[in-house]
Amino acid sequence: MKTRHFITVADLTPEGTLALFDEAEALKQRLSRGVHERCLADKSLVMIFEKASSRTRLSFEIGMTQLGGHAVYVGMLDERLGERESVPDAARVVSGYADGVMLRTYAHGTVMEFAKPSSVPVINGRSDYNHPCQALTDLFTIREKLGNLKKIKLAYVGAGNNVARSLAWACYRRGMRFAIASPKGYELGDRLIKKVRNLTPESGGTISKLRDPHKAVRGADVVYTDVWASMGQEDEAAERRKIFRDYQVNARLLDAAGKGALVMHCLPAHRGDEITGDVIDGKQSIVFDQAENRMHLQKGILKMLLG
Ligand code: CP
Ligand code: NVA
């Protein structure tokens, strides 16, 4: 049987995604009553990080513990996967020990290369192409706050990066309206949009690309942003700070969206750059619920793939 991986949001069917949301919600409710479901007793998850992380590491590690299993952290922050031994060799060795692997890499190709020979499920914990655990958590959080996702408008302000790609993909598949405002040269790629539309042509979702952030947020139910320079783009940070200056999520931009709009950010945030402190700490922000939900949603993924 083919090993099931979770590498992009398309690895789950739309029905599978709803089942995952229901599972995550049930796990969250049970945890709030102090009930730990130990469905992964004696199971091990290896977590390999080429890059820094707080949320992804902690939410997976504590999530595994709560499900009765165990997580092993492998930090490769000074080295890339494939330097000491080939990626496929590492994958075959690790899958001989563990019941699942979570990878945070620089290149998306590394996740693909690892998954191919792996005999256990591989979960993408962020690559330069995608951040699927984040995007599904975000939709789970919106559903928790607003109910049915269909026709909800999410306005993303910033670069067409890994988080934007996964969100556009996930929103489109759920029949949501995804609008992204980016400066010239930093837009969401048309190839991705075409792929997403071809994969789920009947979803009822829309993806629109705009230049003006004020226009993008008009009528939005959710305003979302992420850092201007992602991990691995640190040397472009100063230049991007100038280019993205008009793409800050601040009180004025939020006024254009309206009082009912929720504010989201995957974190870590650079307060004063892509988002202001008053907005992140303000009444419309659900940023910290979003961060907490990483654990509940990923417990659902772990249960589904390793259980
Ligand atoms: N949002 C997110 O993935 O955070 P970390 O980089 O801290 O894991
Ligand atoms: N786009 C950011 C997300 C971090 C969670 C990055 O890749 O660095």
- The 10s digit of each residue's pLDDT in 36-72 is 999 999 999 999 999 999 999 999 999 999 999 999 9
Sheet holding 153-157, edge to edge: 206-210, 177-181, 153-157, 222-225, 262-265
For residue 19, the model assigns a pLDDT of 97
Classify residue 3: in a domain, yes or no.
Answer: no
Residues 140-181 pLDDT 10s: 999 999 999 999 999 999 999 999 999 999 999 999 999 999
| Mean pLDDT computed over 100-127 | 97
Count Cβ atoms within 10 A of the Cβ of residue 263 and give its class: 0-12 exposed, 13-18 middle, 19 or more buried. buried
Compute, in angstroms, the gap from residue 106 CA to the centroid of ligand 1: 14
Residues 265 and 282 in one domain: yes
Helix locations, the chain, DSSP H: 14-32, 55-66, 87-97, 108-115, 132-146, 162-173, 190-199, 213-217, 237-243, 251-257, 277-280, 287-306
Contact 274, 158 (CB under 8 A): yes
**How many degrees, rounded to 5, is the angle at CA 95 between CA 91 and CA 99?**
140
- Examine residue 86 and state whether it is found in any structural domain, yes or no: yes
Ligand nearest to the CA of 133: 1
Q: Considering the chain, what percentage of its residues have pLDDT values greater than 90?
A: 95
What pLDDT shows up at residue 299? 98
Tell me what pLDDT residue 1 has.
64
Residue with CA at minimum distance from ligand 1 atom 4:
55
Rounded to the nearest 10 degrees, how much is the dihedral formed by the CA atoms of 101, 107, 109, 112?
A: 10
What number of helices (H) and strands (E) belong to the chain? 12, 9
Name residues contacting ligand 1 (CB within 6 A): 53-56, 126, 134, 266-268
Residue nearest to atom 3 of ligand 1 (CA): 56
The verdict on 100 and 211 lying in the same domain is no
**Domain identity same for 260 and 241:** yes
227 Cβ closer than 6 Å to some ligand 2 atom: yes
- The whole-number pLDDT of residue 113 equals 98
Decide: 167 in ligand 2 pocket, CB within 6 A: no
**What is the widest separation between alpha-carbon atoms in the chain?**
54
Cβ neighbors of 89 (< 8 A, separation 6 or more) are none
- Alpha-carbon distance of 291 to 307, in angstroms, equals 24
Into how many domains does the chain fold? Answer: 2
Residue 98 CB–ligand 2 contact under 6 Å: no
Could you tell me if 119 and 139 lie in one domain? Answer: no
Residue 145 backbone dihedrals phi, psi, to 5 degrees: -85, -40
Q: What is the pLDDT of residue 2?
A: 79
230 shares a domain with 119:
no
Residue with tokens 């793939």: 305
Are 148 and 185 in the same domain?
A: yes
The model's pTM: 0.98
Are 72 and 151 contained in the same domain? no
Please name the residue that has the structure tokens 């009180």.
Answer: 251
**pLDDT at residue 306, as a whole number:** 97
The sign of the torsion formed by the CA atoms of 34, 40, 41, 47 equals: negative
Which ligand does the CA of 61 lie closest to? 1
Nearest to 27 by CA among 132, 182, 115, 140: 140
Q: How far from the centroid of its chain's Cα atoms is residue 279's Cα? A: 21
pLDDT for 193-209, tens place per residue? 999 999 988 899 999 99
Would the CB of 231 count as within 6 Å of ligand 2? yes
CA of 126 to the centre of ligand 1 (A): 8
pLDDT band at 3; cut points 50, 70, 90? confident
Domain identity same for 77 and 141? no
R_g (Cα) of the chain, nearest Å:
19
Output the domain CATH number for residue 167. 3.40.50.1370
Tell me, yes or no, whether 1 lies in a domain. no
For residues 118 and 163, membership in a common domain is answered with no
Residue 124, ligand 2, Cβ within 6 A = no
Same domain, 249 and 151: yes
User: Of 44, 39, 41, 42, whose CA–CA distance to 97 is shortest?
Assistant: 44
Q: Is residue 16 part of a domain?
A: yes
Catalytic residue positions, numbered: 104, 131, 134, 226, 266, 294
The predicted pLDDT at position 79 comes to: 83
Q: Which domain holds residue 169?
A: 134-290
